[in-house]
Structure 1
Amino acid sequence: MTSIFAELTQLPRPTSEISSAGESWAVNQAPTAKGEKKPTDNSLWAMFRPAVSLGDGRHTPQNVSLTSFLLGIGLGVGFLWTWSALCAVVIPEETKPGFSQALLRLGPFLLFLSQFHYLEYLITSLYNPKALGFDTFTFTMDANYIYLKMMSIILIEFLVEAYFVPEIKMGRWNWLAGLTLMITGQAIRTLAMATTQRNFNHYVATEKDPDHVLVTHGIYR
């Protein structure tokens, strides 16, 4: 028993500890041979360096949490922006349209874009978790940055039109019609994913999966 206790007392200390003089931190310092000095990283980054990488495209809880957090910000900002746009709809039509008023119409785009990406992951996790991956958010960047290019073109087109011809963005009824179509489209897609459940994923199949069945109920009736 005494020999076991002696061996335990000679085990290396935890990897992160402060020196007796309180001068510096030893971060992830491995035990070294007697008399050998191992350099320590005393930088501020070393003290707070995370154990995993963020934003590397891997399907990790950290990346999912960060992405959901950013989409939540987009949802909140988009909702407030959309509410301001709805209030602006009641402006009399004789009011001269301007760039700032036309810019309010961008709010629903941010709102429904954030909602779409979030619901893609959420609904898949609820009804088909085996097909879940980080690309389930559906905006994973590919080698050609197609998604980023597409969104950039959409934004540039909107800003150019809002600046030079803001009146085309100020139509009351066509704006409300577009808002209704976005709500209806998102509701139909979410209902379809919930109905197909394990028979739906985000990949194009070239061969029939043995577990795949034809859905003929619900919205597909």
Structure 2
Amino acid sequence: MLCRDGTLSLICFIAASLISFSPELQFRLGFNIYATYFKNIWFLHAVQYILINVSALLAFRGFAYQIAIRALFLGYVFGIGILLSINAPSSWQVFGIYTTVLASFHYTEFLAIAWSNPAALSIDSFILNHSVAYGIAACLSWIEFIIERHYFNVMKRPSLVSYFGLLLCICGEILRKLAMCTAKHNFNHVVQNEKSDNHELVTHGVYNVCRHPSYVGWFYWSIGTQLILQNPLCLFAYALMSWSFFHDRVLIEEITLLNFFGEDYVQYQERVGTGLPFISGYKINS
């Protein structure tokens, strides 16, 4: 059952997406209302986005407001991404696909926690402020895309590479969300240092396929985003940095899990791999 905060976020996300579609929808239906007052479509979107944020400010307070403005932002970006992928020049369409994938990933992170572990729900569940390195990496991928589009326009048009990247993102996203919903209250975005009374070792479902399905999903999702953008430099950099990050993260987490569950986790390690390439995790006998 989705908690109240999750329901609020879902309503805001959907509402913002629909509002972002409204000028295009009215144009396709033959209405000319917006064109009478706005000559620039991006100025119209800016006005719409400001208005929905003012509405959120008037309607909500505190934690509910913080949820609403983030869900509205991600919903509007999601909608703009779809519009770009359909209407933009071909060399911008893959950026629209990427934008949609990025917005849906961050929103569904919050939604999955709201569904499976509402007690752990916080503003950080959107992971929009994941880390400085994450933000820098995203900005560098945008810069590479813009520069390469300027000098090698044909390189950025939709191709089998970008569609394969989209498929990789979808599969990675599904795997990560299945992991979160399978683990339920045992999942947390932050590695836990102390074992809670209801903390259990989850070995069924996708955890019977690999020990760290949420990391596996995120790893391949991150690589998929750069395949969508057809960014050769960031593809290599993302693969290397993501591998390094999850290598260290798995070591830290498995030391904690071995302290929590002892021999049960050792036996689990023997049966199931991490799922990440060339990462075996922390072994007591190694």
- TM-score tier by shorter-chain length is 0.5 to 0.7
- Alpha-carbon shift at residue 164 of structure 1 (Å): 1.1
Name which of 60, 75, 78 aligns with 2:78.
75
Structure 2 match to 1:40: none
Structure 2 match to 1:197: 184
Letter in 2 for 1:209: S
- Alpha-carbon shift at residue 131 of structure 1 (Å): 0.7
CA contact (8 A) 1:118 1:137 kept: yes
Q: How does 1:3-152 map to 2 (within 5 A)?
A: 60-84=63-87, 100-140=89-129, 145-152=132-139
The 3 A distance-change label for structure 1 pair 220 and 148 is closer
Instruction: Tell me the distance in 2 between the aligned counterparts of 1:107 and 1:179.
Output: 12
CA contact (8 A) 1:79 1:108 kept: yes
The 3 A distance-change label for structure 1 pair 51 and 83 is closer
Instruction: Tell me the distance in 2 between the aligned counterparts of 1:174 and 1:210.
Output: 47
Instruction: Tell me the distance in 2 between the aligned counterparts of 1:69 and 1:53.
Output: 13
Name which of 157, 161, 174 aligns with 1:187.
174
The 3 A distance-change label for structure 1 pair 214 and 77 is same
Larger Rg, first or second structure (1 or 2): 1
TM-score, normalised by the number of residues in structure 2: 0.48
- Alpha-carbon shift at residue 76 of structure 1 (Å): 1.0
Instruction: Tell me the distance in 2 between the aligned counterparts of 1:102 and 1:136.
Output: 33
Instruction: Tell me the distance in 1 between the aligned counterparts of 2:102 and 2:94.
Output: 14
| DSSP-derived class of the 2:179 partner | helix
Structure 2 match to 1:96: none
RMSD after superposition: 2.5
CA contact (8 A) 1:139 1:147 kept: no
Structure 2 match to 1:11: none
TM-score, normalised by the number of residues in structure 1: 0.61
The 3 A distance-change label for structure 1 pair 79 and 199 is same
CA contact (8 A) 1:124 1:193 kept: yes
Structure 2 match to 1:212: 199
Letter in 2 for 1:64: I
Structure 2 match to 1:173: 160
- Alpha-carbon shift at residue 123 of structure 1 (Å): 0.9
Structure 2 match to 1:158: 145
CA contact (8 A) 1:128 1:200 kept: yes
Instruction: Tell me the distance in 2 between the aligned counterparts of 1:149 and 1:117.
Output: 16
Provide the identity percentage.
Answer: 32
- Alpha-carbon shift at residue 170 of structure 1 (Å): 2.9
Structure 1 match to 2:247: none
- Alpha-carbon shift at residue 147 of structure 1 (Å): 4.0
Structure 2 match to 1:38: none
1:104-139 superposed Cα distances (whole Å, 9 cap, x missing partner): 210111101110111111110111011111011101
CA contact (8 A) 2:82 2:97 kept: yes
- Alpha-carbon shift at residue 150 of structure 1 (Å): 2.6
Count of residue pairs the alignment pairs up: 152
- Alpha-carbon shift at residue 160 of structure 1 (Å): 0.8
The 3 A distance-change label for structure 1 pair 84 and 176 is farther
1:168-207 superposed Cα distances (whole Å, 9 cap, x missing partner): 3236211111111111111111111111111101102234
Q: Identify the structure with the greater helix proportion.
A: 2
Instruction: Tell me the distance in 1 between the aligned counterparts of 2:157 and 2:129.
Output: 33
